[in-house]
Amino acid sequence: MQAKTILRILMLLICVGSMAGCDDDEALSPITLEYENHNVIFDNDGRTYRLTPFSNETTPLYIKGGDGQYKVTNSNENVVHINFDGRKISLQAKDLGDALVRIDDASGNSYALSVVVRYNEWTYTIANRTTIIKGNELTVGDKAELEKKIAAGNNEKGYLFTYKNATNSTGSVRIYDEDGREREYDFSSEQVSLPEDGAIEISNGYKLREYYKVAIMRESINETIYVTKDFFPLIDTRYNNYARPMYCFVKDLTEQYKADYPKAESIYLVYETVAKANMTRTTDGNPQNDN
């Protein structure tokens, strides 16, 4: 009888031990990262976090899975600083570059997060161009000749803007030409909002009021471009089979051609552009495209 009792106790202990082992196995799920706001999903497949050098400290990422005994290591403290309190991490950009953040636990589970610190960049591809020339005294021949000169002297295919400060007001721009050339210049930008009576008249019935004034420092002259989203009344085009243009670049060429065509009152070249931005993250974890 005593032997049977001891046997039952041993079997019970084995069962309890087995159940505890099963619970431990189930608890040791892979390590992942999550935002506290469950409506924002962290990409645990891509495992990449992109920042600018001007990013504030990010919203904390909570570490899930593993055995809970986490150790965090950072491959490049010069690029990003990691704040870790035992259960969550946050990131603080320090300089341009790449870093690998590893999360390990005592049971051999690991997670690698790639942190990329880059300047914000926007690419603007020209989808359509329109020349607007005002001057009632211009002859048909002069106007045709002027349009031909403008087309030959303004053969841009697209722009790549790299923003090098926190307000996106200075940086460099790479201009791609139709002939395959690439040239890079510095630029500065300021946001402008004009009253109705001070707005720039581009064409009859259309005045430019809200825009970014972008000054590009070319070799011989400083080129000014007005960048605006409010251009459909001016261009009046619709795209059914192409990506919808997002911005309009308005180039004021009046001074450039006024000497040769004094009867021209104003000369504008309008680029409809499709914009694409590199993705960064805001401090609340949401994707953001910076202007």
Residue 182 corresponds to which tokens in the numbers above? 């690439």
Please state, in angstroms and rounded to a whole number, the distance separating the CA atoms of residues 278 and 123: 9
Residue that has been written with the tokens 């722009």 in this structure: 159
Give the model's pLDDT for residue 283: 37
pLDDT score, position 230: 67
pLDDT tens by residue, 74-93:
999 999 999 999 999 999 99
pLDDT for the residue 2? 58
Which distant-in-sequence residues (6+ apart) come within 8 Å of 165 by Cβ?
A: 54, 171
The whole-angstrom distance between residue 150's C-alpha and the CA centroid of its chain comes to: 32
Helix (H) or strand (E) holding 146: helix 140-153
What are the angstrom distances between the C-alpha of 204 and each of 134, 201, 266?
A: 9, 7, 12
Phi then psi dihedrals of residue 150, to 5 deg? -65, -45
Kindly report the pTM of this predicted structure: 0.76
Coil, helix or strand at residue 134: strand
Place of tokens 């307000």: 167
Residue 28 neighbours by CB under 8 Å, 6+ apart:
65, 66, 67, 107, 109
Q: Which residues pair with 175 in a beta bridge?
A: 159, 183
As averages over each run of 10 residues, the pLDDT of the chain (291 residues) reads 56 53 61 94 94 93 95 97 96 96 96 96 91 91 94 92 95 92 95 90 82 89 85 52 74 91 93 78 40 38
Q: What's the pLDDT score for residue 244?
A: 66
Q: Give the integer Cα–Cα distance in Å for 274 and 109.
A: 44
d(Cα 93, Cα 86) in Å, to the nearest integer? 20
